[in-house]
Structure 1
Amino acid sequence: MSEAETGPVLYAEPGSTWWPVLWGPGFALTGLVVELVTPGPVNLGVWLALAGALAAAAVLWVYARRRALAVRLTPEVLTVGGEDLAVSGITAITDVGAPLGSRVLGGGLTTPKGTGEVPLRLSDDRVVLAWAKDPATLLDRLRPLLPES
């Protein structure tokens, strides 16, 4: 979706940064340095291959986290994980209890570890659970978009 379709981003959590991709090459560099300062053969090719393999695995991991754990709010759409919810379909965010068995947005069975629940009442009177690392800020940014009740 382009900004022209959804408006400016009011709240965003990327799900993950890209810096974990450097962990594997960092470990491989440490192993190479240890080999360089100790007696014995230096296996430069092995360390380079290891660095590349670990970086490639980390790219996949980060990419998956950025898709599955991202939260984005625009004036039109709340995106939680891989699920879009029209802001116009949300009727209440205050005094909304989360009944047992409420559906979690984004496709998970529970809210992701390290996130807080944000219960939302929809126009069809269902309650769903959004989530964010900073639920209070998400609620503050969402509140002005909803009709006063």
Structure 2
Amino acid sequence: MTRYTERGASWRALAYGPGFAVLGYLAELFTGTTHAIAWVFVGLGLAAITAPWIHARRRFLTVEVTDSSLCQGREQLPLDRIAEVTDVGAPTGARVLGGGWSVPNKYDALPLRLTDDTVVLAWAKDVGALRTALQEARAT
């Protein structure tokens, strides 16, 4: 069962480019000269460059807590390896889960002590909800 999910991006962002193109076309309607084909290409072009961005964010910035594991980006950590979730200090140079060098921008860090007494940094936009989900999943 999934206890917490935080997607890196929403597929709704794919509609922004075509929406911008429609607004541009509507603005041109008021000036008298329209370039409908150009605006179609603008909308498709913006959607085409947005799709890989969304895919990458969903792949590398998704956080998910299930009954058995914590998934952070490309890394999956079994919950039975987590010893402590609260009151863990983050030492300098602690490894960041998910394969990055540092906690992603606009995300907050949650230090976790593992059963081998090492400290790693989990991350989420809502650290409180992540902590709660990890505590509940570990309790069951």
Q: Which TM-score applies when normalising by structure 1?
A: 0.88
Instruction: Report what 1:106 is aligned to.
Output: 98
1:48 corresponds to 2:23: no
Amino acid at match of 1:62: I
Structure 1 unaligned segments of length 5 or more: list them: 1-7
Aligned residues: 139
2:21 to 9, 28, 31: 28
Amino acid at match of 2:138: L
Deviation string, structure 1 residues 28-50 (Cα, Å, up to 9, x no partner) = 1111112222123x221111011
1:91 to 61, 83, 108: 83
Kindly indicate whether the alpha-carbon contact (under 8 Å) linking 1:24 and 1:55 is maintained by their aligned counterparts in 2: yes
Equivalent-residue separation in structure 2 for 1:130 and 1:29 (angstroms): 41
Equivalent-residue separation in structure 1 for 2:48 and 2:2 (angstroms): 30
In structure 2, the CA distance between the partners of 1:123 and 1:34, relative to structure 1 (3 Å rule), is same
1:13 corresponds to 2:16: no
Instruction: Report what 2:115 is aligned to.
Output: 123
What is the identity percentage for the equivalent residue pairs of Structure 1 and Structure 2? 43
Runs (4+) of structure 1 moved beyond 3 Å? 144-147
Structure 2 unaligned segments of length 5 or more: list them: none
